[in-house]
Structure 1
Amino acid sequence: MRRRFLLSGAALLALPAIAQPGAPRVETVAGGLAHPWGLAFLPDGTALVTERPGRLRRVTPDGEVSDPVRGVPRVFAEEQGGLLDVVLAPDFAESRRVYLSFAEPGEGNTASTAVARGRLNQDGTALEDTEVIFRQQPKLEGGMHFGSRLAFAPDGNLFVTTGERFRFDPAQDVSDHLGTVLRIAADGSVPQDNPFVGRQGARPEIWSYGHRNIQAAAIRPEDGALWIAEMGPRGGDELNRPEAGRNHGWPLVSWGQHYDGRDIPDPPTRPDLAGSIHQWTPVISPSGMVFYQGSAFPDWQGDILIGGLSARGIVRVELDGQRVRGEHRIDLGRRIRDVAVAPDGVIHALTDAEDGALLRLRPAD
């Protein structure tokens, strides 16, 4: 049985007064989604959407929302925890594998970020043979800073972004997974060229460390490199390009301040640490990102589209190599949790709300 949330005529949202010429028109594809978090498109244009309370749904291009897909692992759905990202395996057409990141409950009231995979059956109603292939260590109490985005690199390995569980200093400790970018094989094993393989006391899954809370990540198509946008404290959201084995500095340095007003040294004071490509103060609260490739918005080719929770819209970043050349805001008037591009090149976004929605952005003309 399916629920239908398509609004008559696909409701158009008012464009902001500061909109640039040619700003996209915005349609609501489907509503009634409970804090939707992750978005991935099947080859036929149907969207897989995660809901943070622990449900995975299919949303058709005309707005039909399925019953929950069976076979999703049990989640720790408190505060920022729950069912998080979703991506398709690079060989989805043959394997039908779907990967999920989520807050996994442990003993007592503990939890940590985990990754599971399963095979989507032919009618899309269930994940079969679901298995957890990675568990962040250690599991801790509290519901803050789980990350987590998933991104497949061209070599078939999977990047997993995490948070430091609001514990600060463990992000500097490579003996745990807190505040790290991880790199695992598609089956959860450790690639032997990871930077900490063979180092005593270090977690071999770690790619980079010293991160705070990464809820946006994407692979740049032109070179296959991972880019992330991570949340700072009071100020200092960062756009970064994580490199193997590098320390990105949290909480030793930051462009922001602690929530209690205490200062944090700025990154230039520590040239030994990896620097950021760009920073936002005030924050945009980045969540979800994609490098645009498609015919719908030809002038945006290669730009980064970043969902903004605090920004209440999409931040479009123009690049010149490794440098930010320009920035534009698409004001949607809602907290944006994820951004993705459909097979037809049209941009879609998820709104973060108890009654959340899947939006579609088309060219104005």
Structure 2
Amino acid sequence: MKKLFAACSLGILGALVAPALAQQALNIQTTTITSDLSSPWAIELISDEQMLISERPGVLKRLTVGQGSEVIQGTPNVFYRGQGGLLDIALDPEFEQNQKIYLSYSSGDREENRLEVLSARLVGNRLEDSRVIFKASPSKDTPVHYAGRMLFLPDQTLLVTVGDGFDYREHAQKTDSLLGKIVRVMKDGKIPDDNPFAGESEVGVKTEMSIFSLGHRNHQALIYDEKRQLIFSNEHGPAGGDEINIIEPGKNYGWPVITNGKDYSGASITPFKTYEGMEQPFVDWTPSIAPSSMAVYYGNEFPQLNGNLLVTSLKSQELLNLTMVNNRVTKQENILPNLRERYRDIKVNSKGEILVLTDSGKLIKLSN
């Protein structure tokens, strides 16, 4: 893991990927694969033709292109309220051998609920050997700001985003709380001994050893760029202050001490936009666009996009292409101006085709 830490830092300082090709006009064809999903939240590719899709009411589906979908039995009981429910899906790095998947979801009730992560084996159309490997603490009484995105790193440890719970924003700066954090655990839920806060507890002071980074609000995307060796995350600000951040272990991303946003009432949240020891966003959107998912594009279908970040949005209903040159964003462009949807998730298959999931229940393929 120390090698990964060093690579993440190195990636910010230098350009590890050649500058993007000169921008050419994109010829995008859209194909609706399905339009009958119910509050879909995440898509995970098993292959180019087969994928898992989560629906927030608690349904997990396996969809095979051209053959329809089937419901996977044995999913966990979820707290389906507000922004909660069945959320993200991640395949084990050794999925082909062990058929193991990971699900994030909200659990509990109105008085006490939390984000959890479950591991299970996908056997036919059932989940077996289910085991909860992570529970966010403390519990809360708000049905919002769960976050819940997951990412396996090259060392096969698992990152999980945990939202601030909305009414609990001060917890984002507290190391005795997992709210407003990114956590890092092993596949069995154990805590790696090289986590940035491991071994730092003082007498009488509790520190959550699973914390990887802190100072987050409601992070909706978490991806790893293998070529740049960088971890990217985006998150919702309040009214303004939506962000993309480059995530490094132990770093503090500022919420709610620093933000470019304001409270929904228009009131100021903090007098600070910068503060010593806190990171500035890689990208800021003020006013807000409500970014959801994100992908770094490498593929043959759209060579003009190679090395760029693709960001889906809910509020602005755009699919943004962020041109990256020398690890800096030089241009932002909506590449689906004629298709207005609340885009929830995005994936790129091995052919370079782009799949987007919408809140309206559609799975749409973008090809050349």
Normalising by structure 1, report the TM-score.
0.89
Displacement of 1:146: 0.1
Q: What are the within-5 Å matches in structure 2 for residues 39-54 of structure 1? A: 39-43=43-47, 45-54=49-58
Separation of aligned partners in 2, 1:350 and 1:262: 34
Q: Which residue of 2 aligns with 1:181?
A: 182
Cα displacement (A) at 1:46:
0.6
After TM superposition, the structure 1 = structure 2 runs for residues 81-92 of structure 1, keeping only pairs within 5 Å, are 81-92=84-95
The 1-side partners of 2:148 and 2:327 are apart by: 24
1:197-346 matches, within 5 Å, as 197-200=198-201, 201-265=206-270, 268-331=273-336, 332-346=339-353
Given candidates 338, 350, 354, the residue that maps to 2:357 is 350
* Contact in 1 for aligned 2:101/2:119 (Cα 8 Å): yes
> How far did residue 71 of structure 1 move?
1.6
Does residue 195 of the first structure (1) align with residue 196 of the second (2)? yes
Alpha-carbon distance between aligned partners in 2 of 1:315 and 1:23, rounded to the nearest angstrom: 15
Report if aligned partners of 1:56, 1:72 keep a CA contact under 8 Å in 2. yes
1:32 aligns with 2:36: yes
1:55 to 52, 59, 62: 59
Q: How does 1:58-207 map to 2 (within 5 A)?
A: 58-62=62-66, 64-66=68-70, 68-105=71-108, 109-121=111-123, 123=124, 125-166=125-166, 167-200=168-201, 201-207=206-212
Query: 1:266, CA displacement in angstroms?
Result: 7.0
Q: Tell me which residue corresponds to 1:4.
A: none
Q: Give deviations 1:210-236, integer Å, cap 9, x for gaps.
A: 100001110011143311011001011
CA contact (8 A) 2:256 2:270 kept: no
Instruction: Give the paired residue count.
Output: 338
Match of 2:35, SS state, is strand
Over residues 47-66 of structure 1, what are the superposed CA-to-partner deviations in whole Å (9 max), with x where a residue is unaligned? 10000110000111226121
Letter of the structure 1 residue corresponding to residue 96 of structure 2: A
- CA 267–76 in structure 1, closer or farther in 2 if over 3 Å, else same: same
Report the AA paired with residue 30 of structure 2: V
Q: Unmatched 5+ residue regions in structure 1?
A: 1-19
In 2, distance between residues paired with 1:119 and 1:270? 45
In 2: Cα distance, 1:335 partner to 1:266 partner: 32
- Hey, what does 2:15 align to over in structure 1? none
**Partner Cα distance (2:353, 2:217) in 1:** 31
CA distance in 2, matches of 1:265, 1:128: 47
Two-structure CA RMSD over aligned residues (Å) = 1.6
Q: Deviations over 1:69-95 (max 9, x none)?
A: 012111110010000000111111101
Distance in 1, Cα, partners of 2:226 & 2:271? 31
Q: Distance in 2 between matches of 1:311 and 1:56?
A: 28
1:267–1:275: 8 Å Cα contact kept in structure 2?
Answer: no
Check whether the contact 1:255–1:264 (CA below 8 A) recurs between aligned residues. no
Kindly indicate whether the alpha-carbon contact (under 8 Å) linking 1:318 and 1:324 is maintained by their aligned counterparts in 2. yes
Contact 2:274–2:280 (8 Å) recurs in 1? no
Residues 323 and 332 in structure 2, CA contact (< 8 A), matched pair in contact too: yes
Is residue 259–residue 273 contact of structure 2 (8 Å, CA) maintained in 1?
A: no
- The answer to whether the Cα contact below 8 Å between 1:154 and 1:224 also exists between their aligned partners in 2 is no
CA distance in 1, matches of 2:103, 2:191: 18
Deviation at 1:264, TM superposition (A): 3.8
Tell me the equivalent position of 1:16: none
Separation of aligned partners in 1, 2:43 and 2:67: 14
Q: Secondary structure at the match of 1:170?
A: helix
List runs of 5+ in structure 2 lacking aligned partners.
1-23
Q: Residue in 2 aligned with 1:8? A: none
Equivalent residues of 1:153, 1:224 under 8 A apart: no
Whole-Å Cα distance in 1 between the matches of residues 132 and 69 of structure 2?
26
SS at match of 2:258: coil
Report the identity percentage.
36
Q: Do 1:30 and 1:59's aligned partners in 2 also have CA atoms closer than 8 Å?
A: no
| Per-residue CA distance 1:222-276 (angstroms, 9 max, x = gap) | 1433110110010111010121111111111101111111124476531421111
